[in-house]
């Protein structure tokens, strides 16, 4: 078996305990933390028999370890809402899994676009500032990243909505397409579907609607990636082999891109992976501000409505995604750096 395969399988096996731990964490948070979800849901003053009814239907009357096993079994069988309360959302009465899977593509598309933007801009600015350390460009970029680091996501999103959407009327404020546009839902990803439908108006409409949300989500990652890329590049550029390459007479461009960059990429990659998981958290706010029909908004709405099966389902789903992400990052790491594949 090739070493990559072996590594992949080992990593996969390690990911499982990780997801398992996350699920346990979620379970603990939901069940063991003091506070009564039922009265939070129904209000303080309810007749005793309703209270008991809900308790039974949630499975709260069973011992904790039984609830735990039930929880895990539910996840394994993709009954993400938990079977005791029915796997259906309180609000729409549809299975939680269906609701999640319906909205997931929108979130995925948004996150992918954001991470691509973040990586491109972040790496570019990181390299530029690393190759011009201490000069004006570096300082400006550094200042910009400090600013970006301190900006609250929701505020920036709102301000952009205000300035660009309301005052200047350049970009749309909310939603993912104009009201009159219709296109076939193939994958569930609005931009992709618009492309597939071939309707120019639809494509441009979705694209315009995406500008603000994607920028909002991306800038924090841009800043982080830029910092890491810069640090790593600066560190790499001081290594001996760079001096060798220059002594050999290689053009500066080649030195920078082919040698330094590749080696600086590694730690940056891990950070990128972590950023993607963090983006998921960002989608909650972004989708709420821009009224996009994605998983983040589902999570938010279900929390506002105290729709526990959906809340549980969403959070469990996030845990799975985080596990998958971390696995992909590790795999990419191994693909790039042969030393890692033990």
Partner 1 sequence: MIMGVLFFMAAFCYQISPYNPLELNPDRMLEPPSSDHLFGTDTLGRDVLSRTITGCRYSLSVAIIAVVGALLIGASAGLVSGYMGGKLDRIVAMMMDSWFAFPTIVIAMLIVVFLKPTYVNTALAVMLATVPRYFRTIRSLSLTLKTRTFVEAVKSIGARDTYVMWHHILPHTIPTVIVLMTLQIPASILSIASLGFLGIGIPPPIPEWGTDLNVARAFLIAGHWAPSFFPGLFIFLSCLGFNLFGDGISRMIGTTVERV
Binding site for partner 1 (CB under 8 A): 14, 17-19, 21-22, 25-26, 29-30, 33-35, 37, 40, 146-147, 149-156, 158-159, 161-162, 166, 173, 224, 227-228, 271, 274-275, 277-278, 280-282, 284-285, 288-289, 299-300, 303-304, 306, 311, 315, 318-319, 322-323, 325-326
Nearest distance from residue 244's CB to partner 1, in Å?
Answer: 27
Place of tokens 């910009």: 144
Nearest distance from residue 10's CB to partner 1, in Å?
Answer: 14
**CB of 191 or CB of 280, closer to partner 1:** 280
**CB of 29 or CB of 57, closer to partner 1:** 29
Phi, psi of 199 (to 5 degrees): -90, 110
Place of tokens 């949300």: 213
Nearest distance from residue 159's CB to partner 1, in Å?
Answer: 7
**CB of 42 or CB of 274, closer to partner 1:** 274
Report the chain's C-alpha Rg in angstroms: 24
**CB of 255 or CB of 289, closer to partner 1:** 289
> Would you report the helix, strand and coil content of the chain in percent, each value rounded to 5?
75, 0, 25
Question: What residues contact residue 188 under an 8 Å CB cut-off, 6+ apart?
Answer: 102, 104, 105, 106
Q: What token pair was written down for 19?
A: 């997801």
**CB of 54 or CB of 195, closer to partner 1:** 54
Dmax (CA) of the chain: 84
As a whole number of angstroms, the distance between CA 251 and CA 225 comes to 26
Check if the beta carbon of residue 319 is closer than 8 Å to that of residue 19: yes
The SS3 of residue 307 is coil
β-strand partners of 88: 95
Q: What token pair was written down for 69?
A: 């096993």
Nearest distance from residue 313's CB to partner 1, in Å?
Answer: 12
Nearest distance from residue 99's CB to partner 1, in Å?
Answer: 17
β-strand partners of 95: 88
**CB of 191 or CB of 286, closer to partner 1:** 286
Instruction: Return the axis-axis angle of helices 96-131 and 200-237, rounded to nearest 10°.
Output: 50
Nearest distance from residue 56's CB to partner 1, in Å?
Answer: 19
Sign of the torsion formed by the C-alpha atoms of 317, 323, 329 and 331: negative
Count CB neighbours of 291 within 10 A.
13
Nearest distance from residue 224's CB to partner 1, in Å?
Answer: 6
Nearest distance from residue 235's CB to partner 1, in Å?
Answer: 11
Beta strands in the chain (DSSP E): none
**CB of 59 or CB of 250, closer to partner 1:** 59
**CB of 66 or CB of 162, closer to partner 1:** 162
């Amino acid at each position: 078996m090739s070493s990559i395969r072996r590594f992949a399988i080992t990593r996969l096996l390690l990911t499982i305990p990780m997801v398992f731990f996350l699920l346990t964490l979620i379970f603990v948070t939901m069940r063991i933390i003091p506070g009564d979800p039922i009265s939070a849901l129904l209000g303080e003053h309810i007749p005793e028999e309703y209270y008991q009814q809900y308790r039974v239907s949630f499975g709260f009357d069973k011992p904790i370890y039984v609830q735990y096993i039930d929880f895990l079994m539910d996840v394994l069988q993709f009954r993400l809402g938990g079977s005791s309360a029915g796997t259906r959302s309180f609000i729409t009465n549809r299975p939680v899994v269906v609701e999640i899977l319906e909205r997931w593509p929108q979130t995925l598309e948004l996150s992918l676009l954001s991470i691509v933007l973040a990586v491109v801009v972040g790496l570019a600015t990181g390299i530029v500032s690393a190759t011009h350390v201490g000069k004006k460009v570096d300082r400006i970029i550094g200042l910009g990243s400090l600013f970006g680091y301190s900006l609250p996501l929701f505020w920036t999103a709102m301000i952009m909505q205000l300035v660009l959407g309301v005052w200047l009327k350049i970009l749309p404020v909310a939603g993912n397409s104009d009201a009159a546009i219709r296109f076939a839902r193939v994958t569930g990803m609005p931009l992709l579907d618009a492309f597939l439908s071939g309707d120019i108006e639809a494509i441009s409409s979705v694209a315009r609607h995406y500008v603000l949300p994607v920028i909002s989500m991306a800038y924090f990652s841009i800043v982080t990636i830029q910092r890491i890329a810069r640090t790593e590049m600066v560190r790499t550029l001081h290594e001996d082999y760079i001096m060798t390459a220059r002594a050999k007479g290689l053009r500066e461009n080649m030195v920078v891109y082919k040698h330094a960059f590749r080696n600086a990429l590694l730690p940056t990659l891990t950070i990128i992976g972590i950023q993607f998981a963090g983006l998921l958290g960002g989608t909650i706010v972004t989708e709420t501000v821009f009224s996009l029909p994605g998983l983040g908004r589902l999570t938010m709405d279900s929390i506002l409505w105290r729709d526990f099966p959906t809340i549980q389902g969403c959070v469990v789903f996030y845990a799975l995604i985080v596990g998958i992400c971390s696995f992909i990052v590790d795999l990419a790491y191994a693909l790039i750096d042969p030393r890692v594949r033990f």
